[in-house]
Amino acid sequence: MELPFAESWKIKMIEPMRKSTREEREQWLREANYNVFQLKAEQVYIDCLTDSGTGAMSDRQWAEMMLGDESYAGATSFYKFESVVQKIFGMKYVIPTHQGRAAENVLFSFLVKEGNVIPGNAHFDTTKGHIESRKAKAIDVTNDDAKDTQKVVPFKGNVGLDKLEKVLVENKGNVPFMVLTVTNNTVGGQPVSMKNIRETCELCHKHGVPVVMDSARFAENAYFIKTREEGYADKTIKEIALEMYSHVDAMTMSAKKDGVVNMGGFIATNNKEWFEGAKLFCIPFEGYITYGGMSGRDLNALAVGLDENTEYDMLHTRIHQVEYLASKLDEYGIPYQRPAGGHAIFVDADKVLTHVPIEEFPAQTLTCELYLEAGVRGCEIGYILADRDPVTHENRFGGLDLLRLCIARRVYTDNHMNVIAAALKNVYDRRESITRGVAIEWEAPLMRHFTVKLKRL
Ligand code: F0G
């Protein structure tokens, strides 16, 4: 008999969890203004808000924490971290930052000027925020397959090359770089193929435009290349990562995802001029260039995290769990962005809450319903997250309206996946009776989803 699948790690430390009653959750959600970011973590049973900084570190990572060198300048920890980054990504110049958006802030402070246009395959919200706050424009050039949640294609995060070319031609001389996000978080943790990475970079370079890879989930992307793209089955994850980065000019990294640390980020590039330029912004924003917002012990833990999480078994265990949750939703007939992404399941709220008008934010409503049902916290990746158009100030209802259920790395078991799926099924079974959503009572001008105050209609 063939041996069944099992995790490639065992558990050494546990954290007790607390369940709550529906009554408690009704009160807590009301107090949180129907915004799950405003809940206290202790009011949550299973937390699928994000996979960012929520992973469980390995014993080797914890051991390295004890060896951190906390010297202000030139710490051993920096050089340990730098050499791992150089080896995995083939990038010579490395600047640590405290997280991904800090890497964006430092690099974009040097590169983005008012009026610039920056195309990308669905910029993450902080990336878009750092572009728009500098009065530049972020244009989404994701391929159209991503818009149809039921269409199964292997690399749904790909760049639409026609769309990209149009932006490059129409904005000649005004595009400082293009952002290539792997995996494409916004459309569902969907991967980008090596072919698309190569062709995107060739096209950009033909137009004299460099490419910055937003790398938060680069290892998951490499896993999908290995398992889905012809010619890569026999390559290691590390070989694939190196090839991915051989095409691009720089990277920004939120190490809280595929670095499997609770906090951390960095910039890496082979472009000396960019390195020198970014360095100037690192010092005032993040700190001296050999620590840039991270302590020595955190740099050590990240060095190990990057090395461990670019091994096949680790990634296979992770993606297998996300696919397991997807298989439960398939069993219950619940529509989500297919195929399952790398870090999360994105439930298609428009297709679930068909009686809730889009002006009443179906995905946010579904997020609230799931929390009330079982204390499971997901998050809206939809019309609230999309913010308003900076020019017309209208809500952007054009994209997808999804409930994202992120799976933290190495934290929950498949039994927890069963609970999430069952809770969602219970909501799904009474979907016809949910006819009203939520309305905005107060919102911030940028990145409103973190602090928005809502009322239930
Ligand atoms: N880029 C991508 C693709 C991301 O998903 C994130 C964060 C960032 C950049 C910013 O990194 O949080 O370290 O500052 N995504 C988290 C999420 C917050 O929940 O998807 P950060």
- Kindly name the residue from 5, 72, 397, 450 that is annotated as catalytic: 72
Instruction: Read off the pLDDT of each residue in 247-252 and give the average, rounded to a whole number.
Output: 98
Q: How confident is the model at residue 167 (pLDDT cuts 50, 70, 90)?
A: very high
> What single-letter amino acid sits at 394?
E
Instruction: Read off the pLDDT of each residue in 131-142 and give the average, rounded to a whole number.
Output: 96
Q: Is the pLDDT of residue 390 over 90?
A: no
Choose one of 121, 124, 131 to mutate for the ligand 1 pocket test, by most ligand atoms within 8 angstroms of C-beta. 124
Q: Which of 206, 52, 194, 211 is nearest to 141 (CA)?
A: 211
d(Cα 362, Cα 26) in Å, to the nearest integer?
18
Q: How confident is the model at residue 233 (pLDDT cuts 50, 70, 90)?
A: very high
pLDDT in tens, 263-284: 999 999 999 999 999 999 999 9
Three-class SS of the chain: CCCCCCCCCCCCCCCCCCCCCHHHHHHHHHHCCCCHHHCCHHHCCEECCCCCCCCCCCHHHHHHHCCCCCCCCCCHHHHHHHHHHHHHHCCCEEEEECCHHHHHHHHHHHHCCCCCEEEECCCCHHHHHHHHCCCCEEEECECHHHHCCCCCCCCCCCECHHHHHHHHHHCCCCCCCEEEECCECCCCCECCCHHHHHHHHHHHHHCCCCEEEECCCHHHHHHHHHHHCCCCCCCCHHHHHHHHHHCCCEEEEECCCCCCCCCCEEEEECCHHHHHHHHHHHHHHCCCCCCCCCCHHHHHHHHHHHHHCCCHHHHHHHHHHHHHHHHHHHHHCCCECCCCCCCEEEEEHHHHCCCCCHHHCHHHHHHHHHHHHHCEECEEECCCCCCECCCCCCECCCCCCEEEEECCCCCCCHHHHHHHHHHHHHHHHCHHHCCCCEEEEECCCCCHHHCCEEEEC
Q: What pLDDT is attached to residue 109?
A: 98
**Has this prediction a pTM greater than 0.95?**
yes
Which tokens sit at 25? Answer: 């959750």
Q: Is the pLDDT of residue 434 over 90?
A: yes
Instruction: Read off the pLDDT of each residue in 11-37 and give the average, rounded to a whole number.
Output: 97
Q: Whose CA is nearest to atom 12 of ligand 1?
A: 100
Which residues make beta-bridge pairs with 137? 117
Give the CATH number of domain 22-51+312-456; options: 3.30.1340.30, 3.60.15.10, 3.40.50.2000, 3.90.1150.10. 3.90.1150.10
Q: What is the dihedral of CA 275, 277, 280, 284, to 10 degrees?
A: -90
Q: Is the pLDDT of residue 398 over 90?
A: no
**Is the beta carbon of 185 within 6 A of some atom in ligand 1?**
yes
Active site residue 145: no
**Is the beta carbon of 362 within 6 A of some atom in ligand 1?**
no
> What single-letter amino acid sits at 335?
P
Task: Give residue 406 CA to ligand 1 midpoint distance, Å.
Answer: 12
Q: Which of ligand 1's atoms lies nearest the C-alpha of 99? A: 13
Q: How confident is the model at residue 446 (pLDDT cuts 50, 70, 90)?
A: confident
Task: Give residue 431 CA to ligand 1 midpoint distance, Å.
Answer: 31
Q: Provide the mean pLDDT of the chain.
A: 97
d(Cα 67, Cα 82) in Å, to the nearest integer?
16
Q: Which residue has the tokens 């906390």?
A: 70
Polymer length in residues for the chain: 457
pLDDT in tens, 275-317: 999 999 999 999 999 999 999 999 999 999 999 999 999 999 9
Q: Whose CA is nearest to atom 11 of ligand 1?
A: 100
- Kindly name the residue from 47, 125, 140, 401 that is annotated as catalytic: 125
Q: What pLDDT is attached to residue 447?
A: 84
Instruction: Read off the pLDDT of each residue in 252-259 and give the average, rounded to a whole number.
Output: 98
Active site residue 124: yes
pLDDT in tens, 68-82: 999 999 999 999 999
- Kindly name the residue from 216, 219, 301, 344 that is annotated as catalytic: 216
Instruction: Read off the pLDDT of each residue in 426-430 and give the average, rounded to a whole number.
Output: 97
Q: Which of 49, 54, 20 is nearest to 37 (CA)?
A: 49
Active site residue 449: yes
Choose one of 37, 254, 381 to mutate for the ligand 1 pocket test, by most ligand atoms within 8 angstroms of C-beta. 254
Question: Domain residues of the chain, as ranges?
Answer: 22-51+312-456, 59-309
Instruction: Read off the pLDDT of each residue in 425-452 and give the average, rounded to a whole number.
Output: 95
Active site residue 258: no
Q: Whose CA is nearest to atom 18 of ligand 1?
A: 52
Active site residue 288: no
d(Cα 270, Cα 321) in Å, to the nearest integer?
36
- Kindly name the residue from 247, 257, 328, 343 that is annotated as catalytic: 257
Q: How confident is the model at residue 445 (pLDDT cuts 50, 70, 90)?
A: confident
Q: Is the pLDDT of residue 256 over 90?
A: yes
Please state which CATH number belongs to domain 59-309: 3.40.640.10
- Kindly name the residue from 45, 78, 110, 124 that is annotated as catalytic: 124
Task: Give residue 125 CA to ligand 1 midpoint distance, Å.
Answer: 8
Instruction: Read off the pLDDT of each residue in 247-273 and give the average, rounded to a whole number.
Output: 98
Which tokens sit at 369? Answer: 């319903």
Q: Is the pLDDT of residue 386 over 90?
A: no
pLDDT in tens, 316-353: 999 999 999 999 999 999 999 999 999 999 999 999 99
Which residues make beta-bridge pairs with 243? none
Judge whether 96 and 80 are in contact, CB under 8 Å. Answer: no
Which tokens sit at 209? Answer: 């435009």
Q: Is the pLDDT of residue 391 over 90?
A: no
Q: How confident is the model at residue 389 (pLDDT cuts 50, 70, 90)?
A: confident
Q: What pLDDT is attached to residue 114?
A: 98
Q: Which of 322, 274, 323, 263 is nearest to 298 (CA)?
A: 263
Q: Which of ligand 1's atoms lies nearest the C-alpha of 217? A: 3
